[in-house]
Amino acid sequence: MKKKKNSSGSTIESIMKETRKFPPSKDFREQAHIKSMTEYNNMYKRSIEDPEAFWSGQAEKELDWFKKWNKVLTWEPPFAKWFEGGKINVSYNCLDRHLKTWRKNKAAIIWEGEHGEDKTLTYQQLHREVCRFANVLLTNGIKKGDRVCIYLPMVPELVISMLACTRIGAVHSIIFGGFSAAALGDRINDCGAKLLITSDGSFRRGKRIPLKANADIALINSPSVENVIVVNITGLEVKMKGGRDHWWDDVVAHESTMCECVAMDAEDPLFILYTSGTTGKPKGILHTTGGYLLYVHVTAKYMFDLKEEDTLWCTADIGWVTGHSYIVYGPLSIGATSVMFEGVPNYPRPGRFWEVVEKYNVNIFYTAPTAIRAIKRDGDEWVKKHDLSSIRLLGSVGEPINPEAWRWYYDVVGGGRCPIIDTWWQTETGGALITPLPGAMTLKPGSASRPFFGIKAEIFDEEGQNVRSNQGGYLVITKPWPGMFRNLWGDEERFKSTYFSQYAGIYFTGDGARIDKDGDFWLMGRIDDVVNVSGHRIGTAEVESALVSHLAVTEAAVVPIPHEIKGQGLFAFVTLKKNTEPDKALKVELLKHISKEIGPIAKPEMIQFTEALPKTRSGKIMRRILKQIAMDRVDVGDTTTLADPSVVDRLIEDRKNL
């Protein structure tokens, strides 16, 4: 295998001490799909010993196929084919099949606007709108296999567009509404989209963001786009180019509400979703039809312990994979009720999330650690003001959740009643791979628990040997699963070299992890966030968790800096609670605290207090930029994907004065 950057030690040392355990309550267990570890273990064992029998059983039971497959799996590493010969349609499974049941008039999507307005689409209503818009696509010359880019905020038309694409076999590629014109143009060109769906603008914290104007700039250099459909959301004035640009309301008005589903091959492309890699060029993650749908359906069912009467709210933006899988495809395929929120957690006031939970009696609430930390910072009173007793399960995704944030989430949001599922996965994996099953597993704050059914997850050292328990290493997935991405759009070489060359034919996740003595997984962050201090490999996420566990700290980001004696040292950026004095004494105290929580080896060389950290619009801290700042560099590279690029200037300025 290729040597990784941090290759001077043979393993990653795990130094996190977290010992609290939370077994499922009797009440939760009794009503759950999976009620005990014995049940999980038996089902897991079957799924690993005979994955083909397991997944074909699930595919038969959970999805509607127009024609059954001839072969469950062809695995010629790194290429997997699932359910070859099978014919299926995603829109059919998410809509049509429910219309034959009592769910016909069940709420499919409950939409909550930024300003508190709302709209509910039942399965039947959503079906009508999807058919109508699918006909618009056909009228605009879109055929099976054509790419359609979608650049929309969180409005119902986004879901309608996605399902309309899948209905006729078009491949959608959603570009998050927070991306710039340049980023949009790159993605349109990379996939050669024929049609773009956008809106005049979007609302963000009461401001109007001009999406159509961005799209106009992008389209100057994106000749593949023949038509643009524009949703009217904000009333911003826009330029409409004759012959190319059409208002959504105008084009749907004349279309029929009937549109047949195209029978897709199980392995036909379903969508492309761009995600960042270690180079500047984004990677077009390609998911296909049958396997992806099955995987998100089955994971949604078991990890959320999803029941017919549940209202599920995943707060992610649909521009990210989390929204694809757990707002739209998983829940709708199951026939659940999914809440879709246009706004942000703390606008127009802190507590906005809890207003929405209370309004719809949300039962399952799924969000990201960054949101949890931000809400925590605003103070418990904003949570406690609301009746959150409808919630029965909490979820977390996107980065390791610090035990401190975990416990706050558990106590204050969940009222000590609700299990938390810390779900580990990636854009590439389609759905969650490592996650607690809440009726079966004893939770440990900071641990994502166990691999899902059919997922063979292992921790390797540099040589590809399994490491001992509690020893850190590289998280790999050694068997194919139905939800895995099949390729990078237009870049098979990069697909092979990024993911399958470190250990031949084995999926390399890029994350570090350890498995404890009980068999539970602890994610340690990206490999490139793993630092070698005096020969000790330290996951920066662990140091961050230690910092966040201090009463004065809201958020922390830890990056490596070169160190003459230790090889690498740590540099910590720390955001403090409101009304906390950022003085020297506190720095000394934090160092002591880390020593106490982890050990002196994890003490940062320097601590810089900051009002804000540079984050992407999806809330990920951009450590690449922080690494540059920590090294006192002024040129930090591309900052265009940041939610607020001005944060960087302040950080550079303060770094000078440190």
For ligand WT7, the binding residues (CB under 6 A) are 275, 320-322, 397-400, 422-427, 448, 509-511, 523, 526
Q: Which is nearer to ligand WT7, 166 or 322 (CB)?
A: 322
Whether 216 contacts 239, CB under 8 Å: yes
Q: Which helix (H) or strand (E) holds 189?
A: helix 181-191
Q: Which is nearer to ligand WT7, 227 or 426 (CB)?
A: 426
**Cβ distance to ligand WT7 smaller for residue 245 or 422:** 422
**Rounded to the nearest whole angstrom, what is the least distance from the CB of residue 500 to ligand WT7 in the complex?**
16
**Nearest CB to ligand WT7, comparing residues 238 and 401:** 401
| Minimum gap (Å) between residue 651 Cβ and ligand WT7 | 23
The two structure tokens encoding residue 570: 């740590």
Sorted by sequence, the CB contacts under 8 Å of residue 432 that are 6+ apart come out as: 299, 303, 397, 423, 424, 425, 452
- Between CA 156 and CA 71 the distance in angstroms is 37
Minimum CB–partner distance for residue 371 and ligand WT7 (Å): 12
**Contact present, 576 and 609 (Cβ < 8 Å):** yes
From the CB of 613, what's the least distance to ligand WT7, in Å? Answer: 16
Which residue, 296 or 590, is less far from ligand WT7 as judged by CB?
296
Q: Which is nearer to ligand WT7, 264 or 506 (CB)?
A: 506
Nearer to ligand WT7, 12 or 131 (CB): 12
Q: Report in angstroms how near the CB of residue 514 gets to ligand WT7 at its nearest.
A: 12
Tell me the DSSP string of 322-339: HHIIIIIIHHHHHT-EEE
Q: Could you tell me the smallest distance in angstroms from the CB atom of residue 366 to ligand WT7? A: 11
| Degrees, nearest 5: CA angle 353-356-357 | 85
Minimum Å gap between C-beta 23 and ligand WT7 is 20
Quote the radius of gyration of the chain (alpha carbons, Å).
24
Are the beta carbons of 642 and 651 closer than 8 angstroms?
Answer: no
When the beta carbons of 515 and 590 are compared against ligand WT7, the nearer one is: 515
Angle at 239 between CA 236 and CA 243, to 5 degrees: 135
Kindly tell me which of 321 and 476 has the beta carbon lying closer to ligand WT7.
321
> DSSP labels for 455-517?
--EEEE-TTSPBPPTT-BEEEEE-S--TTS--EETT-HHHHHHHHSTTTTTSEEEEEEEEE-T
Element (H, E) at 270: strand 269-275
- Give the span between the Cα atoms of 103 and 156, in whole angstroms: 19
Cα separation, 68 vs 87, whole angstroms = 7
User: At its nearest, how many Å lie between ligand WT7 and the CB of residue 615?
Assistant: 13
Please, what is the minimum distance in Å from the beta carbon of residue 312 to ligand WT7?
Answer: 16
Q: Kindly tell me which of 286 and 321 has the beta carbon lying closer to ligand WT7.
A: 321
Closest CA to 332 of 63, 527, 599: 63
Give the list of residues 6+ apart from residue 600 with CB closer than 8 angstroms, or none: none
CB of 529 to ligand WT7, least distance (A): 8
Rounded-to-integer distance, Cα 189 and Cα 354, Å: 40
Closer to ligand WT7 by Cβ: residue 97 or 617? 617
Helix (H) or strand (E) holding 269: strand 269-275
Minimum CB separation of residue 528 from ligand WT7 in Å reads 10
How many residues does the structure list for the chain?
658
Those residues whose C-beta lies under 8 Å from the C-beta of residue 195, and which sit 6 or more positions away, are 137, 140, 142, 146, 148, 149, 225, 226, 227, 228, 229
